[in-house]
Chain A
Amino acid sequence: MLSRIAESLYWIGRYIERAEGTARILDVHVHGMLADPWIDQEIACRSLLTVMGVAAADQHVSTVRVVGLLGLDQSSPSSVVGALAAARENARGARETISSEMWECLNATWLGLPAARLRIEQQGMHAFFGWVRERCSLMAGLTEATMSHDDGWLFLMLGRSLERADMTARLLSTHADAGGSIQSWLTLLRSCGAWETFLRTYRGALDDRHAAEFLLLDRLFPRSVFAALSAAESCLADLEHAGTPGQASRAGVATEAQRIIGRARTDLEFRGLDDLLASLSTVLSNVESACSQVNAAVSGRYFRATTAIAWAPRAFV
Chain B
Amino acid sequence: MADLFEEYRLGPGWDEMFSELGVPRPSYEALYATLQSLSSADLAVRSEVLARAFLDQGITFALKGVERPFPLDIVPRLITALEWAKVQAGVSQRIRTLEMFLADVYGPAHVLNDGVVPRRVVVTSAHFHREAAGVNPPNGVRIHVAGVDLIRDEAGEFRVLEDNVRIPSGVSYVIENRRAIGHVLPEVLAATRIQPVESYPAQLLHALRAAAPAGVTDPTVVVLTPGVHNSAYFEHTLLAREMGVELVEGRDLFCSGNEVWMRTTAGETRVDVIYRRIDDEFLDPVHFRADSVIGVAGLLNAARAGHVTISNAVGNGVADDKLLYTYVPALIRYYLNEEPILPNVPAYRLDDGPEVLEYAFERMDSLVFKPVDGSGGSGIVIGSRTGQEELEALRARITADPRGWIAQHEVALSMVPTLIGNRLRGRHVDLRPFAVNDGERVWVLPGGLTRVALPEGELVVNSSQGGGSKDTWVLAPAHDEPSGPDDRVAGRTLPQPRQPDPGPGAAAGAVQQQQQQQQAGLSC
B186 touches A122 (CB 8 A): no
Against B, the Cβ 8 Å flags (1 = close, 0 = not) of A155-195 are 00000000000100000010001111100100000000000
B 459-503 contacts with A by CB, 8 A? 476, 480-482, 485-490, 492, 494-503
Taking the complex as formed, is B49 at the interface, i.e. its CB lies under 8 A from any CB of chain A?
Answer: yes
Residue pair B503, A178 in contact (C-beta under 8 Å): no
A300 touches B (CB below 8 Å)? no
B119 proximal to A (CB < 8 A): no
B residues within 8 A CB of A177? 492, 494-495
A36-51: contact bitstring with B at CB < 8 Å (1 yes, 0 no)?
1111100110110111
Asked if B45 is at the interface of the complex by the 8 Å CB criterion, the answer is yes
Chain B residues within an 8 Å CB radius of A43 = 488, 490
Interface size, A (range): 35 or more
A34 at the interface (CB under 8 A from B): yes
Of B45, B242, B476, B499, the most chain A CB neighbours within 10 A belong to B499
Residues of A within 8 A of B182 (CB): 31, 34-35, 126
Contacting chain A: which of B191-199, B314-322, B363-371?
Answer: B191-199
| B63 beta carbon closer than 8 Å to chain A | no
Whether B49 and A127, one on each chain, are in contact in the complex, defined by CB atoms closer than 8 angstroms, is yes
* Interface of chain B residues 242 through 275 with chain A (CB within 8 A): 242-245
Q: Report yes or no: A123 in contact with B45, Cβ–Cβ below 8 A.
A: yes
Q: Indicate whether B184 reaches chain A with its CB closer than 8 angstroms.
A: yes
Would you mind naming 16 contact pairs between A and B with Cβ atoms under 8 Å apart? A11-B504, A18-B500, A34-B190, A37-B195, A52-B500, A123-B46, A124-B46, A124-B183, A127-B49, A177-B494, A179-B487, A196-B241, A196-B242, A204-B205, A291-B501, A308-B509
Interface residues in B222-248 (C-beta closer than 8 Å to A)? 241-245
Contacting pair A179 B202 (CB below 8 A): no
- Interface residue A266 (Cβ < 8 Å from any Cβ of B): no
Q: Is B178 an interface residue (CB 8 A)?
A: yes
**Chain A positions within 8 Å of B494 at CB level:** 46-47, 50, 56, 177
Q: Does B507 contact A (CB under 8 A)?
A: yes
A53 to chain B, nearest CB (A): 5
CB of B15 to closest CB in A, whole Å: 26
Q: Is the CB of A53 within 8 A of B499?
A: yes
Q: Does B121 contact A (CB under 8 A)?
A: no
Residues of B within 8 A of A181 (CB): 485-488
**How far is B486's CA from A34's CA once the two chains are assembled, in angstroms?**
19
CB distance from B296 to the nearest CB of A (A): 21
- Is there an interface contact between B495 and A199, defined as CB atoms closer than 8 Å? no
Question: Chain B contacts of A51 at CB under 8 A?
Answer: 497
Cα distance, A292 to B499, chains bound together (Å): 10
> With A18-B500, A52-B497, A53-B500 in contact, is A40–B490 under 8 Å at CB?
yes
In the bound complex, do residue A180 and residue B487 qualify as a contact, i.e. CB atoms below 8 Å apart?
Answer: yes
Partner of A34, one of B186, B243, B488, B495: B186
Chain A residues within 8 Å of B480, by CB: 38
* Complex-state Cα separation, A31 to B489, whole angstroms: 21
Contacts A33-B190, A35-B198; is A178 near B487 (CB within 8 Å)?
Answer: yes
Q: Is A258 an interface residue (CB 8 A)?
A: no
A50 touches B244 (CB 8 A): no
CA distance A56 to B487 in the complex (A): 21
B241 adjacent to A199 (CB under 8 Å): yes
**Which B residue's beta carbon lies closest to that of A89?**
B506
Are A199 and B244 in contact (CB-based, < 8 A)?
yes
CA of A173 to CA of B495, assembled, Å: 10
Question: Smallest Cβ distance from A14 to chain B, in angstroms?
Answer: 7
Known: A49-B497, A51-B497, A204-B205. Contact between A30 and B186, CB under 8 A? yes
**Does A74 have its Cβ within 8 Å of any Cβ on chain B?**
no
In the complex, which residues 195-210 of chain B have their Cβ closer than 8 Å to any Cβ of chain A? 195-196, 198, 201-202, 205
